[in-house]
Structure 1
Amino acid sequence: MTTSALTTPRPSTTRPAPGTMQIVGPMGDRYAEILTPAALEFLGQLHERFVGRRHEILVERQRSRQMIEDGIDPDFLAETAHVREDASWRVAGAAPGLSRRHVEITGPTDPKMAINALNSGADVWLADQEDATSPTWENVVGGQLALRDAIRGRLAFTSPEGKTYALAHTDLRAMPTIVMRPRGWHLIEKHLRFVDRAGQTTSASASLVDFGLYFFHNADELITRGRGPYFYLPKLEGRREARLWDDIFTFAQERLGIPHGTVRATVLIETLPAAFEMEEILYELRDHCAGLNAGRWDYLFSIIKSFRCRGEYFVLPDRSRVSMTVPFMRAYTELLVATCHKRGAHAIGGMSAFIPDRRNPEVTAKAEEQVRADKRREATDGFDGTWVAHPDLIPFAREEFEAVLGERDNQLDRLRDDVHVEAADLLDIRSASATGATVSAAGLRTNVSVGVRYLESWLRGVGAAAIDHLMEDAATAEISRSQVWQWIHNGTRTEGGVPITAERVEALLAQIVDDFPRTPGNRIADAADIFRQVTLGEEFPTFLTISAYSQHLVRGTAPSAPTPS
C-alpha cells in the first residue's frame, strides 16, 4: 500500500454518537471492505462492554510487577488450589482442523507471507498480527484483507518485481488451519477511536480491534468451509485475563448467532506470572480452549523484566547460552506439558530461531541440526506439536515428531505424572549460569546489533526479520534490549572483566549505525534513538513497541470530533 493510495478521513463536525467507533486513520484501497459500518458497530459493542476490564487488567499487571520488584516472588495461588486439585474438569479440546498440530508455521499476515504459509504443508498457520507484524495501519487493515481473501480461497499477490504468488488450494480444508494471533492487551490502535457514553474519545484496544474484525468478517465463513474461528492469545498474565477473553468469546458468539464453544483458543504461556496459573487459565477458558503454547522468547523477556532490579542472582548470561535445557526452562516446559495433558489440552512447543539459507548449505545444515535437536527434545518430552518460522524447516520438525508419535495425532494420553515442579524450580534463574555460561563482549554486541537492526526493519513495516541467520521478532528484540538494561544497572562485567556501561553501549551503537548500509529509506538513525530510549534510560519501559508505535507508526489521523464540555 503506497502513501498516495491513502486518504485521511475529514474530521466530523458533528458530535459522534456514544458507544461508536470512529475511523481516524487514512483509508486505502479496499479498506472499506473491512471497516464497514456493521463491523465498526461490532467493535464499538466490544469496547463498550470490555474496555473497562482491559484497563483493570493493565492496572493489576502494574501492581504484580511492583510486588516482584519489591522482593515478593510469584507462587502458585492458595485461593485457586481447589481448581488444581479437582480432577474432574477438562477443556473443550480440538475442533475441526485442530486435531493434528505436529508442525505449525508462524508468520505475519501480509499477502506474500500468508500465501507462503498456506502453501507450506504445515498443519497450522499462526497468522500473526502481533510480534511478527509491525503494526502500521497498512499492515493492520491489509492483514485483515489478506486473511479474508485467503479464507475464501481468492488470495493472490504480485510483487513489485512482477513475481506472482497464488494459493495452491482454494479449499480451506486442504490448507494449514488458520489460528490468528491478535495483539496483546497492552497495545492500542490509534487509527480507530472509541466514543464512550460520556462522549470522550480514546484510542481503541488493539486486541479487540484485531479479534473483532477477524471474527466479524470470517467466523461464519470459516464454519461453512469446515473450520472455525481459532485464536492464539498472547501475553496473558493470569486467570483473570483468561476469563476476560472467555467472556469476549461468549459475547461475540451470542452477538453473531454462533453456537457457544465454537471458538477455540490456544494460550501462549510467555509471561512468568502465567507459568504459575496454567491450570487456572485452562479452567477459565475451558469451554473455548484447545491448548497452551510454550512461548519461550517472550517468557525469557518476562523473566528479565520481572527480576531486572533484583541483583546478580537474576542476571542471565548471553541469550545464545540460555538454552531450553537449563533447569528453570525445563521446569517451565515440563510443567506445561503435564498441565495440558492432565486437562485434555494440546501442548505446543516453541520456535527455534534458526532459519535456513538456500544459498548457503553450511548455514542450512546448522539450522537443520539445531531444529532437529530442539524438536526431538519437545516430542520426547510429550509436546503434541511445535512451531517453525520457515517452510524449509517443516520436514525436519515433522520427521522428529512422527518418529515419536507415529500416525497418532497427538500424545494426550501421556500424562507426565513423573513431573513435579515447585515454585523454586521455576525461579531457579541462577541455574542458567551454573554450567559456566557468562556474559561476553560478543553477546553484548549481538544484543545491541540485533536490537537496532530489528527496530530498523520494524520501522519500515517488517515485523519478522532474518538477521544473522536467525528469525527475529519483537520478542527477541525485547530480550536484547532488556538484557542490556539489566547488565548496565547491575554493574555486570563481561567474562573478560570489562564493565558494561551506558558509554560502552553508546560506542557500539555508533559503530552499528556507521556500518549499516546506506540504502534508500533506511530507518537506522530512528532505530538507534529508540534503542537508546528503551535501554539507556533510568526507567525501564514495559514494552519497547509502545512508545515507538506512537512516535513513528501513527499517521494521517484526523482530529477528534467535538466532545461535550
Structure 2
Amino acid sequence: LVDGEPVAGGLVDFGLYVFHNARELLERGAGPYLYLPKLESHLEARLWNDAFVLAQQRLGLDRGTVRATVLIETLPAAFEMDEILYELREHSAGLNCGRWDYIFSYIKRLRGHPDRILPDRALVTMTVPFMRAYSLLLIQTCHQRGAHAMGGMAAQIPVRGDEAANDAAFAKVREDKDREVADGHDGTWVAHPGLVETALAAFDARMPEPNQIDQKREDVLVTADQMLVAPEGPITESGLRTNINVGVRYIESWLRGQGAAPIHNLMEDAATAEISRAQVWQWIRSSRGVLGDGRPVEFDLVRSLIAEEMLKIRDEAGEEVYAAGRYGEASELFVALTENDTFEEFLTLPAYEVLEQP
C-alpha cells in the first residue's frame, strides 16, 4: 500500500530501485537496466515507458537512461513485438525469448481449442514449428528495428556423480546455443553458471562482433498460422507422471521460499511448473487428452498417479526431509489446480493463499 492505496508491486520495485541505485550505477559505467516480464500488450509497454520517463524527470536523469529488455513470453505479446519495441523505443535494449513461459501461455490462451493440444512437455522443444516460428520472428523483428534479440534459457544443469548424464546435459546446451547463434540471436541464457562457458564458446565461434543486428533475416516469412500450429506427438503415461512429479515438487519448493529448484537434472521454475499443471488441466478436459495406450486422461487416473508419485517422492526425499517439507500442501494444491474448472491465471495466486494460512 502507498498512502493507503494498493499499488502494483512491479512499479514499487522499479521506483525504489531507480531512486536508490540509478546514479551509483551510472558512476560505475553501467545503468538502470531492467527486464520486463509477462507483458501481453503494447499498452503495458506504453505504461512502463511512461513510468521510465516520469522517473527520469523526477531524478534529473537523461531521457533514455533506463533501458529495458522485454521478455516475449506470452502468446499475445508475440503478435505485438513491433508495437512493443515502438512503445519502448527510447528505452529498449531488445527482446528476449522466454521459452518456458511462452509454452505455458500457449496452453493457457488456447486451452479451449481442441486442435491446440500439446504432446508430452519433453517433446515441445525450440525446434517444433510454432516455437521456431516465434524465435525467428523475434530475431527478424528486433534486427529490423536495430534492437538486440536474446535467446532463451537452456534448463539443463551440471550433473554431479554421473559423467554420462553430465556430458549429455552439456551436449544439449551446446546444441541449443549453436542453433541460437546460427539463427541470429545476439545473446542467451543458461540455468547454471557452470554452463556459461559452453554458451560463450558457441557464440564466440560464430559471432566475433558484439552482436548480429546486421543480420536482418529478411528470408524469414512467418504467418499467424505458423505461430499457432500445435506439434504432433503422443501424450504418454510417462509424460503425465513427469508433469505431476515436477509440478508437486516445484510447488513444494516454492512454498518453502525457493523460486527455482533443480529437479531431475533440470532447473525448474514457476514457468515449467505452470506447463505441468496446465497440460494436465487441458488433457483432462479435451477429447484428445488420450494416452498412447488408449486410456483417456481423467480425474480418477490423475488422482491415482498423484498418489503413486507422492510415494516415489517420499522414497527419494527420505522420511525426515519429506516430513519437514510441505509436500502434502503441494499435492493438495496441484489437485485443486487441475480439478477446478476455473483455470487459474498463475499457480502462485492460490499458492500465496496457502502461505497466508495460519
With structure 2 as the length reference, what TM-score do the two structures score? 0.95
Equivalent position to 1:460, from 249, 256, 271: 256
Equivalent position to 1:548, from 327, 351, 355: 351
Equivalent position to 2:234, from 434, 438, 449: 438
Distance in 2 between residues matched to 1:234 and 1:326, nearest whole Å: 23
Do residues 309 (structure 1) and 112 (structure 2) align?
A: yes
Instruction: Specify the code of the residue in structure 2 equivalent to 1:240.
Output: L
Alpha-carbon deviations, 1:470-493, whole Å to 9, x = none?
110000000000000000000311
Distance in 1 between residues matched to 2:244 and 2:348, nearest whole Å: 16
The 5-angstrom pairing of residues 398-413 of structure 1 reads 398-406=200-208, 408-413=209-214
Following superposition, the deviation at residue 551 of structure 1 comes to 2.8
Following superposition, the deviation at residue 512 of structure 1 comes to 2.5
Match of 1:343 in 2: 145
Distance in 2 between residues matched to 1:532 and 1:219, nearest whole Å: 44
Q: Which moved more, 1:227-236 or 1:201-210?
A: 201-210
Match of 1:392 in 2: 194
Match of 1:505 in 2: 302
The answer to whether the Cα contact below 8 Å between 2:241 and 2:309 also exists between their aligned partners in 1 is: no
The 5-angstrom pairing of residues 103-502 of structure 1 reads 193-195=1-3, 201-311=4-114, 313-406=115-208, 408-429=209-230, 432-433=231-232, 437-491=233-287, 492-502=289-299
Match of 2:330 in 1: 527
Alpha-carbon deviations, 1:304-362, whole Å to 9, x = none?
00111111x10000010011111111110000000000011000000111111132212
Distance in 1 between residues matched to 2:357 and 2:86, nearest whole Å: 38
Distance in 2 between residues matched to 1:289 and 1:367, nearest whole Å: 33
Instruction: Specify the code of the residue in structure 1 equivalent to 2:290.
Output: R
Unaligned stretches of 5+ in structure 2?
none
**Cα–Cα, structure 1 residues 438 and 213, in superposed 2: closer, same or farther, change >3 Å?**
same
**Which one has a larger percent helix, Structure 1 or Structure 2?**
2
Instruction: Specify the code of the residue in structure 2 equivalent to 1:428.
Output: V
The answer to whether the Cα contact below 8 Å between 1:459 and 1:553 also exists between their aligned partners in 2 is: no
Alpha-carbon deviations, 1:495-552, whole Å to 9, x = none?
1111111111111222233332331530001111111121111111111111211331
**Cα–Cα, structure 1 residues 449 and 388, in superposed 2: closer, same or farther, change >3 Å?**
same
The answer to whether the Cα contact below 8 Å between 2:137 and 2:222 also exists between their aligned partners in 1 is: yes
Instruction: Specify the code of the residue in structure 1 equivalent to 2:302.
Output: V
Following superposition, the deviation at residue 553 of structure 1 comes to 5.2
Q: Secondary structure at the match of 1:471?
A: strand
Give the count of matched residue pairs: 351
Following superposition, the deviation at residue 202 of structure 1 comes to 4.7
Distance in 1 between residues matched to 2:225 and 2:347, nearest whole Å: 29
Instruction: Specify the code of the residue in structure 2 equivalent to 1:511.
Output: E
Following superposition, the deviation at residue 288 of structure 1 comes to 0.2
Match of 1:22 in 2: none
Following superposition, the deviation at residue 296 of structure 1 comes to 0.6
Instruction: Specify the code of the residue in structure 1 equivalent to 2:21.
Output: N
**Cα–Cα, structure 1 residues 504 and 323, in superposed 2: closer, same or farther, change >3 Å?**
same
Following superposition, the deviation at residue 237 of structure 1 comes to 0.6
With structure 1 as the length reference, what TM-score do the two structures score? 0.61
Instruction: Specify the code of the residue in structure 1 equivalent to 2:140.
Output: A
Over the residues paired in the alignment, what is the CA RMSD in angstroms? 1.3
Distance in 1 between residues matched to 2:222 and 2:338, nearest whole Å: 34
Q: Secondary structure at the match of 1:539?
A: coil
Alpha-carbon deviations, 1:257-305, whole Å to 9, x = none?
2111100000000111111100100000000001000001111101100
Distance in 2 between residues matched to 1:357 and 1:204, nearest whole Å: 42
The answer to whether the Cα contact below 8 Å between 2:25 and 2:32 also exists between their aligned partners in 1 is: yes
Distance in 1 between residues matched to 2:353 and 2:61, nearest whole Å: 36
Instruction: Specify the code of the residue in structure 2 equivalent to 1:361.
Output: E
Distance in 2 between residues matched to 1:335 and 1:469, nearest whole Å: 30
Q: Secondary structure at the match of 1:314?
A: coil
Distance in 1 between residues matched to 2:162 and 2:9, nearest whole Å: 39
Distance in 2 between residues matched to 1:347 and 1:453, nearest whole Å: 33
Distance in 1 between residues matched to 2:141 and 2:357, nearest whole Å: 41
Matched-pair identity in %: 54
Unaligned stretches of 5+ in structure 1?
1-192, 196-200, 556-565
Q: Which of the pair has more CA radius of gyration? A: 1
Following superposition, the deviation at residue 390 of structure 1 comes to 0.7
Distance in 2 between residues matched to 1:358 and 1:257, nearest whole Å: 50
Q: Secondary structure at the match of 1:350?
A: strand
